[in-house]
Structure 1
Amino acid sequence: VHLSHILFISFIAFIIINYAHRTRKPLSGGGDCVLDLNKKQSTTVYLSSLLLQANFFEAVFSDIGTGKQQFHGQMDYKAAGLYTLDEALETVGFGKFQGFVLGYAGLGWFAEAMEIMILSFIGQAVKSEWQLSSGQESLLSTIVFAGMLLGANTWGLLSDNYGRRKGFLTISMVTFGAGLLSTFSPNYLTLVLLRGLVGFGLGGSSVFLSWFLEFIPASNRGMWMVVFSTFWTFGSIFEATLAWIVMPRLNWRWVLAFSAVPSFALLILYGVAPESPRYLCMKGNTSDALRILEKIASVNQTKLPPGVLVSGRSNDKDEESAPSENTAPLLPSLSKSTTQSKSGFSSFFMLFSSKLIRTTLLLWVLFFGDSFSYYGIILLTSKLSSGQSTCFPSLQSNINPQDDGLYLNAFITSMAGIMSHSHFLLYALPSFS
């Protein structure tokens, strides 16, 4: 019986290997593992992968013949000479290449902070110039956040379907274009529409964060996420300083124009920004992912693990050790075919599954409280500085955009972020080093 099993499986393996040799298409391994051996890969890698498959089958057949082990469809990555994306990133480590990725993605975060911080300054200036009501002034801020709400639910889907690079390219184009056109707004309605479009672009800023983290080894993602968030603090400080210098000498239109410059810089540097290797692996394009990993290793002066890159989920050990760091499918227990069939808004409802509903609600409450407090403080800074309060009705007419106190208070409020980030980094410095 054992001999017949061996002969039958050997015959099937022979057919599969010969079929792969003729078609040179992806060859399926065990479980969730898929080898992408398309025409873009070199002949050496292709032949090596066939040998690895043959060795793998040989090991399994010998186990069946002796009755010591059964084949359950799971491949031993290291024994077969394979490595995953997470293993490759851990091997190449954090180096100069990730430093560039951090700078580019951080610039996107920097640009969003400036566009948000500007809401503290242009509202009063526009109200004074066009004689607007308090409700019309508030609408300038409300429309930006409404656009962000719509953009947050749009850009993520686009970047998942068409790539991270195309995602933040479109985001930068929308943000820069609408921000620059805002400076030429002839009336209030045009300004509201354009600022709403800016908010729509700002809603995709999380794409920059996701793109950056997909280049970072899993063991360091938490720390580098904190480092990444400091770009927001510096963007807020820079915007407060910019408004402090420009507003008293020029006007709010110039502040809008200068605030769009970081988004323009993103467009200039777009050509050298690489695609996310994790996105490429999720799409089964391991050949392009391998080229990017080789470039990372070259720039960082390290080497990739020996063997062949595997596209698919991380192994079970990675999922257990760093579940929050994994950007693979949200439900590891689901099969690959099931998760791939879920796209668009259908994947949104996965957040309310029995395994994720608690985490989803907790994160929503935390983000709501954080956003409500932070943006509330930012927007109220200008109100309190100018004395616009029902407690001080006599000061309501004293709105002066040239008052240094307005910019000083915004500057001090933004500087508080440096202290919080520094405290966290110093606290976690031993583990980080």
Structure 2
Amino acid sequence: MMTEEAKNSDHDERSHLMSTEQGCNNLYAVTYEEAISKTGYGKFHFMVLALCGWAVSSDAIEVLSISFVLPAAQCDLNLTSNDKGWLNSIIFVGMMLGGYGWGSLADHYGRRQVLLGSLTVNGLAALASSFSQTFWLFLLLRLFSGIGVGGSIPVIFSYFTEFQPKEKRGTMISVLATFWMFGNIIAAGLAWIIVPLDIGYFSSTFTYDSWRIFIAICTFPSLSSAALFFLMPESPKFLLNVGKAEQAAVVLKKVYDINNPKAIIPFEVETIVLSSDNKTESLHRINANKNVKHTCGSKSVTRLLNSTFELLQAPLRRSTIILLTVSFTISFGYYGLWMWFPELFSRVEKYGGSPCDHVKVVNATSNNHTCIIPDNWTYQSGFLTALSNLPGNLFTIFLMDRLGRKTILVIGMLGSGVSVFFIPLIHNKIQNLLLSCTFGLISTLAWNALDVLQAELFPTGVRSTAMGLSSAASRIGAILGNLAFGELVDVHCAVPMIMVAALLVLGGLTSLKLPNTTKIDIH
């Protein structure tokens, strides 16, 4: 018979051996980057690209569709230039509100759930707006639509990024960003086909004409995207970050099985940690969080504030401030001009010359509210300008990982800023179209590089919050840019053009201070 002391000694020795063995296992734990690489790259990743790309296109369609209806809606809603500025701006107000709130919720409750909710809100509010007969109700419903768009844009990129291995991440995020261009082309093409038509329902109390039909059709991508996300899993990187390592492993196994349907060797990864910096510490933190229950209410606000506070502390503070500055300047410049292109094309077609030559004519007739449905040239120009994004997108797809994100961002912002300086100097509609296409091509470089950078700069726990905060700064820039155009375009369009050019150049110079994130692990 063993004495009590011997039993205790034997128990302690076995406990020590088990602890040592567990410690050794921890040392060989697989990082998330290693685990996602083991799944291979195949069918599942292309499914994610197709769905996230369709969702990005739906957001682009929703944001840009309003610019194509302004010339036609002017008669029905009795719009002034100031009203048009507010209609262009209001969706960005909603995006600013939605981006921050939805983004923080996505960091705590999951990417997939937030995408389901935000895409549905976007589609239903936009559909309802097509029935509005008054300016202010139309404006309010576009605000709610913007809240939905603001939630989906940053979360789509977070969700997509977290499925990408680091060696493909820059290229694939660039590919995803190109779907914004496809959304722009779809919106411009539909506007060209539908808005000039004399179709719809007309009565003394209710009108549902071609531009309203166009708005309604534009909601299909967002609603169909929401339905398709029901079939997708949660981001395994998010699951790992909130302590659900087993669920993360299950998702990764499904990814492996879809990518390798004929594989003989099964996906064998039992222990996954966030990073290689301290595998044992990461594993202990995950295990400690396994039983954490996420609750709503006041704790959601606390988490949102904590995530924001973390972004404003070292070592993330500098990157956060620079990113917010760049996001503001590029959005003020790009959306401040891009959303007004259809209106400028319409004015050039009506009055000839430069977009700035029409000012005296418009001011002289601004009180007459003569209703002239824009002809095909306005929408053809919009379509060609949207198509001009294609070369820029192809450039970033092939060179994002070679030249680096920061280099392309600087080139894009400085180049687009310089191109805007020349717009007031043109003399006919062909020159106007060519310079607009040049601006569209170069600015695409900056947008795609910024999409990649903001997805890589921040760790998983605050990534969606950071992107939501960046989106908020971007929306403020877009709002102010459109309001500035609405106020100043009838004074002299060279004034807002110079503002746009100066801010784009400023953003390009500021972006020189961002760190390099090319081919690094995301944390």
TM-score calculated relative to the size of structure 2: 0.62
8 Å CA contact 2:125–2:145 kept in 1: the answer is yes
Distance change in 2, residues 1:14/1:119 (3 Å): same
Opposite residue 315 of structure 1, the aligned amino acid is: S
| Aligned residue in 2 for 1:382 | 342
The reply on whether 1:279 has 2:238 as its aligned counterpart is: yes
Equivalent position to 2:247, from 288, 291, 301: 288
Indicate the larger mover: 346-355 or 95-104.
346-355
- Structure 2 distance, partners of 1:113, 1:9, is 67
- Structure 2 distance, partners of 1:88, 1:174, is 35
Please report how far the alpha carbon of residue 281 of structure 1 lies from its aligned counterpart in structure 2 after TM superposition.
1.2
- Structure 1 distance, partners of 2:394, 2:220, is 27
8 Å CA contact 1:85–1:309 kept in 2: the answer is no
Question: What pairs with 1:30-45 in structure 2 (closer than 5 Å)?
Answer: none
| Aligned residue in 2 for 1:366 | 326
- Structure 2 distance, partners of 1:429, 1:153, is 29
8 Å CA contact 1:124–1:399 kept in 2: the answer is no
Equivalent position to 1:313, from 274, 280, 300: 274
Distance change in 2, residues 1:211/1:182 (3 Å): same
- Structure 2 distance, partners of 1:231, 1:127, is 30
The reply on whether 1:422 has 2:422 as its aligned counterpart is: no
Question: What pairs with 1:4-23 in structure 2 (closer than 5 Å)?
Answer: 11=12, 14=15
Indicate the larger mover: 237-246 or 403-412.
403-412
Distance change in 2, residues 1:354/1:267 (3 Å): closer
Indicate the larger mover: 376-385 or 256-265.
376-385
Distance change in 2, residues 1:131/1:299 (3 Å): same
Please report how far the alpha carbon of residue 115 of structure 1 lies from its aligned counterpart in structure 2 after TM superposition.
0.9
The reply on whether 1:226 has 2:174 as its aligned counterpart is: yes
8 Å CA contact 2:74–2:371 kept in 1: the answer is no
| Aligned residue in 1 for 2:514 | none
Opposite residue 27 of structure 2, the aligned amino acid is: Y
- Structure 2 distance, partners of 1:157, 1:429, is 29
- Structure 1 distance, partners of 2:163, 2:147, is 26
Equivalent position to 1:403, from 375, 392, 404: 375
SS in 1 for 2:62: helix
Distance change in 2, residues 1:232/1:292 (3 Å): same
- Structure 1 distance, partners of 2:91, 2:310, is 28
Q: Which runs of 5+ in 2 are unaligned?
A: 1-7, 200-209, 283-287, 349-354, 404-517, 519-523
- Structure 2 distance, partners of 1:383, 1:126, is 11
SS in 2 for 1:93: coil
Opposite residue 195 of structure 1, the aligned amino acid is: R
| Aligned residue in 1 for 2:157 | 209
Q: Over aligned residue pairs, what C-alpha RMSD do you find?
A: 3.1
Equivalent position to 1:146, from 93, 105, 110: 93
- Structure 2 distance, partners of 1:192, 1:99, is 37
Please report how far the alpha carbon of residue 57 of structure 1 lies from its aligned counterpart in structure 2 after TM superposition.
1.0
Please report how far the alpha carbon of residue 134 of structure 1 lies from its aligned counterpart in structure 2 after TM superposition.
2.2
Please report how far the alpha carbon of residue 75 of structure 1 lies from its aligned counterpart in structure 2 after TM superposition.
6.5
The reply on whether 1:256 has 2:256 as its aligned counterpart is: no
| Aligned residue in 2 for 1:116 | 63
| Aligned residue in 2 for 1:394 | 361
Please report how far the alpha carbon of residue 225 of structure 1 lies from its aligned counterpart in structure 2 after TM superposition.
0.6
Question: What pairs with 1:292-303 in structure 2 (closer than 5 Å)?
Answer: 292-301=251-260
Opposite residue 288 of structure 1, the aligned amino acid is: Q
- Structure 2 distance, partners of 1:390, 1:430, is 40
8 Å CA contact 2:57–2:221 kept in 1: the answer is yes
TM-score calculated relative to the size of structure 1: 0.74
Please report how far the alpha carbon of residue 144 of structure 1 lies from its aligned counterpart in structure 2 after TM superposition.
0.9
Distance change in 2, residues 1:10/1:343 (3 Å): farther
Opposite residue 135 of structure 1, the aligned amino acid is: N
| Aligned residue in 2 for 1:84 | 31
Distance change in 2, residues 1:280/1:426 (3 Å): closer
Question: What pairs with 1:122-141 in structure 2 (closer than 5 Å)?
Answer: 122-141=69-88
Distance change in 2, residues 1:99/1:189 (3 Å): same
Per-residue CA shift, 1:239-283, capped at 9, x if unaligned?
100000000114111111110000121133132111111111112
Please report how far the alpha carbon of residue 59 of structure 1 lies from its aligned counterpart in structure 2 after TM superposition.
8.6
Please report how far the alpha carbon of residue 391 of structure 1 lies from its aligned counterpart in structure 2 after TM superposition.
3.6
Equivalent position to 1:173, from 103, 106, 120: 120
Please report how far the alpha carbon of residue 110 of structure 1 lies from its aligned counterpart in structure 2 after TM superposition.
0.4
| Aligned residue in 1 for 2:229 | 270
| Aligned residue in 1 for 2:503 | none
Distance change in 2, residues 1:411/1:358 (3 Å): same
Indicate the larger mover: 127-136 or 225-234.
127-136
8 Å CA contact 2:72–2:374 kept in 1: the answer is no
- Structure 2 distance, partners of 1:9, 1:101, is 53
- Structure 1 distance, partners of 2:318, 2:337, is 29
- Structure 2 distance, partners of 1:189, 1:429, is 46
8 Å CA contact 2:69–2:195 kept in 1: the answer is no
Opposite residue 196 of structure 1, the aligned amino acid is: L
Opposite residue 132 of structure 1, the aligned amino acid is: L
SS in 2 for 1:316: coil
SS in 2 for 1:165: helix
The reply on whether 1:352 has 2:318 as its aligned counterpart is: no
8 Å CA contact 2:171–2:398 kept in 1: the answer is no
